[in-house]
Structure 1
């Protein structure tokens, strides 16, 4: 099963929950850190890295001897990654989305694609948990290609937990696509509710089953619970704020070890999600 853990905003405890779910699961699990701009699941899992991989994205390279400056490549590119100046194309690799369209429309066949490093992946093992952590290169704004490569390390024989980037833009959508279920982690604050509503709209548009976990559930008000009730959203779990959890987090320890009974609740949560995903797939 592919279980994505997402949030409309940062700081809700998404990674903490992802790691704890991977640890609580009794079978083999794969932790896929797709928060590639700031991956930090390794702080808690402390995996032994067994392999590194480089992620490259295709960008156009122009053969100036063959190019006649017709400008069809620049006309085609919606992202302004190619511009015509002085009758010759100028390529802006950092804007390129790697669609390959410029190469296809070039009548002179003057454009070929070359690989440009976008990021890297660290593959590791942490006991029964396999890990793959993506890291976007500094200065690179295109997270989706790295995220897609991280997701290739999922396994059919394991619970795959996808730790998604925060927010509701392209990186988050890339991470949750293909998931069997999405957990939306939020907090009971006005900002938490606002961004949860956006995340719910996004996941509903993608047609993926989902439920909500409220972290620090006793630190705000009841508007998130009211919203879930009114919208018919399954409230999967409420995790109260506690000093023990904060101390465990600061030490990089498993939060399930710091709260009696929480590990059993997480195991029950996984079982409930597996059942829901199986019913939907029928």
Structure 2
């Protein structure tokens, strides 16, 4: 089963839920898909090793052979190529590596090279959970390409927990696509409620089953619960606005390690997800 943990905004506790759920389960993989700021390993402390370089094919233009026919710049939907009267300009940060310009060039003036986007790392040796993370190069914009490369390491024989980036942009969509289930983490504050509704719209558009976990429960008001009830969205868990949980977080300690009663609660979340998916399968949804 592949479960992605997402949120409409940062700071709601998405990484906290990902870590504690993964630690409560057995034979599980944990993927940190927040490749711009991966922080799961701050809590796990694993020694990491590189398993893959993530690269993107980019065009190298031979200006002497180029006839300035405009075919490459007209084709590029990301405007990575711009044809001027005397040469073609290339903007590497806009290129998505589709290779179309190389195929189209009638003068064969375009060859391909490789541009580094980031790396995929994993925990050395045997680890529990089996941990992978993506790390985007500083200044790079191709976040989704690194997430796609990271997701290729999912073992379908195991439970996979994916900690998605915050928000509702392309990297989040890339993380959610192809998953069996999405957990949306929120809090009962005005910002949390507003961004939850945006995240719900995204997940519904992708057509992935989902439920909600309310973090810092007791902070704010009841609007999130009322919204979920009105929309028929299951509330899987309520994590209280608890000082001990906050203190453990500040020390980099997942709270299931110090508060064993929460192991059972996160296991119950997993069982609720399985029941929800089984119900949809029976209903043919």
- Aligned partners of 2:53 and 2:116 also within 8 Å: yes
Distance in 1 separating the partners of 2:111 and 2:190: 49
Quick check: 96-105 or 128-137, which moved more? 96-105
CA deviation string 1:130-180 (max 9, x = no partner): 111111111111100000011111112211011000000000000111000
Deviation at 1:101, TM superposition (A): 2.2
Deviation at 1:107, TM superposition (A): 2.1
- Aligned partners of 1:215 and 1:239 also within 8 Å: yes
Deviation at 1:274, TM superposition (A): 2.4
Deviation at 1:80, TM superposition (A): 1.3
Distance in 2 separating the partners of 1:22 and 1:108: 54
Give the secondary-structure state (helix, strand or coil) at the position aligned to 1:208.
coil
- Aligned partners of 2:33 and 2:147 also within 8 Å: yes
* Equivalent residue runs for 1:1-282 within 5 Å: 1-25=1-25, 27-125=26-124, 127-259=127-259, 261-281=261-281
- Aligned partners of 1:245 and 1:258 also within 8 Å: no
Distance in 2 separating the partners of 1:275 and 1:113: 49
Are the structure 2 counterparts of residues 42 and 213 from structure 1 closer, same or farther at C-alpha, using a change threshold of 3 Å?
A: same
- Aligned partners of 1:28 and 1:157 also within 8 Å: no
The answer for unaligned runs of 5 or more in structure 2 is: none
Distance in 2 separating the partners of 1:123 and 1:260: 27
- Aligned partners of 2:65 and 2:107 also within 8 Å: yes
Quick check: 123-132 or 29-38, which moved more? 123-132
- Aligned partners of 1:9 and 1:192 also within 8 Å: yes
Deviation at 1:83, TM superposition (A): 0.8
CA deviation string 1:173-225 (max 9, x = no partner): 00111000000000101110111000000000000000000000101111111
Distance in 1 separating the partners of 2:201 and 2:48: 37
- TM-score, length-scaled by structure 1: 0.95
Moved over 6 A (4+): none
Distance in 1 separating the partners of 2:280 and 2:97: 34
The answer for unaligned runs of 5 or more in structure 1 is: none
Are the structure 2 counterparts of residues 94 and 62 from structure 1 closer, same or farther at C-alpha, using a change threshold of 3 Å?
A: same
- Aligned partners of 1:29 and 1:130 also within 8 Å: yes
- TM-score, length-scaled by structure 2: 0.94
Deviation at 1:102, TM superposition (A): 1.8
- Aligned partners of 1:32 and 1:162 also within 8 Å: yes
